[in-house]
Copies of this chain bind each other. A is one copy, B any other.
Amino acid sequence: MCPHALIPYKPKNPKTRLSSLLSQEEREAFAFAMLEDVVSAAKDAMCSPVVVGTELFDSELVQVTVKDADLNQTLNEILPTVETGLLILMADLPLADEASIRRVTSTEKDMAIVPGRGGGTNVIFMKEPKKFHVDYYGTSFVKHMKIAADAGLSVEVVDSFRLHTDIDEEDDLVELLIHGTGKSRAYLESLGFSLATETGRVRCVRKR
């Protein structure tokens, strides 16, 4: 089985919640490094990555461009046209690896979902994409579970912290520095980021 993996991606001014730590140029380079890690993991899991970008960017990756920046509409136009299993995987999951993606694509249910931190949806796998539609933003995990139930689709919620950990905020960088092995961790380290142990949870610091 070699399903397509759609990877929504914003090349321009991404990850604005990291603005206090990273310049726009750095955030763009960091987002691209995370995308490369996700693409690499998807390929390791025998999926064919297709980047769904808000604009074309310089890369050899297969790209679909979202004209109107409405991710839900674009994906919901694609879903009914796909006759095979389909994965939708966010671009900010640099801890994704072959094993975690295979747990998703090997589900015995009609679908598998991995919730993101804070109620989002990080990964969806559909055996019959035409029976489902997406509704991202807000507590999309709760919405997607309801859409599946309404459509009579069985869902496995895959319990993976690697796919649960989307990188949006400063605390999330700590997870990447501890558990990451790919380009996005290396990029952070090249900028001078490292772990700092204080009381309670570990934070990250940047030497300039």
Contacts and interface: CB of A to CB of B under 8 A. Distances in A.
A61 B7 CA distance: 48
Interface in A112-126: 114-115, 117-120
A76 interface: no
Given A160-B160, A161-B161, A174-B118, A138 B202 contact: yes
Interface stretch (A30-38, A64-72, A193-201): A193-201
Q: How many copies make up the complex?
A: 2
Nearest to A200: B17
A99 interface: yes
B99 A175 contact: no
Interface of A: 17, 99-100, 114-115, 117-120, 138-139, 141-142, 159-165, 168-169, 171, 174-175, 178-179, 195, 197, 200-202
Given A100-B159, A139-B197, 5 more contacts: A115-B179, A119-B195, A120-B201, A138-B197, A161-B161
A199 to B, nearest CB: 9
Contacts of A174: 118-119
28 contacts: A117-B171, A117-B175, A117-B201, A118-B171, A118-B200, A118-B201, A118-B202, A119-B174, A119-B178, A119-B197, A119-B201, A119-B202, A120-B201, A138-B197, A138-B202, A139-B178, A139-B195, A139-B202, A141-B178, A159-B159, A159-B160, A160-B160, A160-B161, A161-B164, A164-B164, A168-B200, A168-B201, A169-B201
